[in-house]
Amino acid sequence: MFPFPEEVSTATRPLIYYCRSRSMEDFSCYWHPLENISNSDNVSYVLTFGPVQECPDYVSSGPHSCHFDYKHTNIWKAYCMNVTAITPLGNYSSPKQCVDVADIVETEAPVNLTYELYDAGGHERGHSTLLSWAYPIPSDLQYGWITLVYELRYRRVNEPHNWKVKPSLREPHVELLGLAVGEYVVQVRSRSQNYGRWSKWSLPLYMSIPGRPPTGKLLMLVLVTGVSVIPLPVPFRIKDYFLPPIPKPRIIGIDPLLLKKGHLDEINRHFSSFHGYSPPAYSYADDIWDQVSVGTLRGRTVKD
């Protein structure tokens, strides 16, 4: 991160090598300890900045670091600092380094990189996919100091040096058009629009572009094609081919021929099994019949 003279060595002096701010609200700096000191030696490190100020927090950012919380961070001034190793043999100070908080802004790598495939195998000029991701620490953005931009890169799996880049993305998603069939690897990173450095690249996402349509489309294609080649008689309708005929109404247990022949006694015997059915009362003896002859009919006058 910082340029140093070639003669500077951590064998004789500590070295501030990295400073970072995630949100311009606070920042941390890190140094390399002395190399020629064993763990049994009593060595301590003191970081000083400004006229006579010492590091406010040696713990929060881990070993050999100094953390400046929001109370000790001012984005309108530069911090010039060095770190001193205090040993039984003497004190060894690092070269002085000056940092501007805006220059050391480094955002987090995006997470949850996913893709959604459109019209796979369904377009002769290529296929479309929608990639989306998320920022891992949204609270870093709530103060409004940082507006994120993203950069996405992708390549075929078997072409390790042939990256294609989508720069200056302002939204956490992008659509890739015209992707040929094959296997791809995708990564994305972020940075502040106006300050600082790019984040690390996200974990790689492996994306597969298939060469044939999904099962649903293939099944529909086979069904339509199959229907189109079935030979059907001219008056025969497709509906009649696919839908079975609806049976005519009938009474279970009654022979239709019996109804046609009109044998009432046998019909009544069948219907007597139904609850509440009683055969109609017929009295042939009560019927009055007049015996007539052809001659009688000729001599009578028919009256209404």
Can you give the CATH number for the domain in which 123 is found? 2.60.40.10
The answer to whether residue 167 is domain-embedded is yes
For residue 69, the enclosing domain spans: 15-104
Residue 83 and residue 152 in one domain: no
Closest CA to 105 of 15, 185, 20, 5: 20
Number of domains the chain contains: 2
94 Cβ contact partners less than 8 Å away, ≥ 6 residues apart: 13, 14, 15, 16, 31, 82, 83, 84
Range list of β-strands (E), 136-262:
148-156, 164-169, 173-179, 182-192, 205-209
76 within 8 A of 49, measured Cβ to Cβ: no
Model confidence, pTM: 0.62
Give backbone dihedrals phi and psi of 25, rounded to 5 degrees, phi first: -100, -25
4 or 20, which is more confident: 20
Residue 246 lies in a domain: no
Q: pLDDT per residue over 168-179, tens digit each?
A: 999 999 999 888
Residue 285 reports pLDDT greater than 50: no
- What are the pLDDT digits (tens) for 37-72? 765 568 899 999 988 899 999 999 999 999 999 999
User: Three-state SS for 219?
Assistant: helix
Structure token pair of residue 123:
């377009």
* Per-residue model confidence (pLDDT) at position 244: 59
Q: 188 in helix, strand or coil?
A: strand
